[in-house]
Amino acid sequence: MTYLFSFTQCKKWLKNSQHSFPMALYRLISFIRCFELPLPQWCYSTLYSLHQIFTTLWHYIIHFFYYLPAFKGRLHCYGKYTKLDNGLPFFSGPLIMTIGDNCRISGKTTFSGRTDSINPTLNIGNNVDIGWQTTIAVGNKIIIGDNVRIASQGFLCGYPGHPVDPHLRAQGLADLPQQIGNIILENDVWVCTRVSIMGNVTIGTGSIIATGSVVTKSFPPYTLIAGNPAKAIKKIAFRTLSSHNKDTS
C-alpha cells in the first residue's frame, strides 16, 4: 500500500510540477510510452498476418492435443467430430454428461450437476451448438435434442442452488427437492442470446426463444417465444429450402 501511494504521489508530482526537471522527465516518459516503430504499412500487415497464422496454429495444436482429449475424459459418452472453441469448459458437481455427433461447444461454458441429486444427467444430441458463457445447471436431468442452437450467455437452470426460505438460506443449506426441475429442448430449438430457462420446462420442436427471455413454463412446437416472463408470440410458419427454390424457379 505504501509503495502504491508513493508511486501515485510521484506520478502526480511529475504531471503537475512547474519545475523544468520533472517537466522534462514527464515529457520523456510520455514519449517512450507513445513511441512507435516508423515502419511502412506492408510491415504492419505482414506482422499481423504472421500473428494470425501462429495463433491459429497454436490454438489448433492445443485444441487437438490437450483441450479436446481432456474434455472427452470428463464425458460419460461422446460422438464423432466434437469441436471446442477457446479452451476447456468448467465442470462442477457429479454430472453425467453425454454428447452426440458434430457438436460445437464453447470452451467458456459451465456445466454443473446438483450435488445432492442422484446421478444428475445432461444428454446432448447431434449437431448442437452451445455458445460462449452459457451455463447449464442440471438438477436431475436436462435433455437437448438434435440440431439445437444455444447462443451466448444462455442459462438452463435445473436447480437454483439455494432454498426460498431466507432463514434456511442464511444457514447455508442447499435448495429443496421441490425446487428441482427437468428441462427438455426438443429437436431444432433455437435459444437466442441471454435466455434463461427454468426447471420443469419443455420447449417444443422448432421453437425459437427471443433474446433476453426468461422461460418459466412449457411451450408447444414451432412457437416464437419472448418476454420476461416469456409468452407465446405466434406460431412459426416456414418453408423448406427446396420448396422456396421451387417457387422461385
Instruction: Given the residues 63, 76, 162, 244, select the one marked as catalytic.
Output: 162
> Alpha-carbon distance 219 to 34, whole Å?
57
Which ranges constitute the DSSP H helices of the chain?
Answer: 2-16, 20-33, 41-62, 68-74, 166-170, 241-248
| Cell of residue 112, nine digits | 454443473
CA dist., res. 203 & res. 134, Å (int)? 18
162 a catalytic residue:
yes
Phi, psi of 162 (to 5 degrees): -135, 150
Residues 6+ apart with CB under 8 A from 209: 189, 190, 191, 192, 195, 197, 203, 215, 225, 226, 230
What lies within 8 Å, CB to CB, of 96 at 6+ separation is 76, 113, 119, 120, 121, 122
Strand order in the sheet with 155-157: 90-92, 110-113, 135-138, 155-157, 196-198, 214-215
In this structure, which amino acid lies at residue 23?
M
Please list the active-site residues. Answer: 162
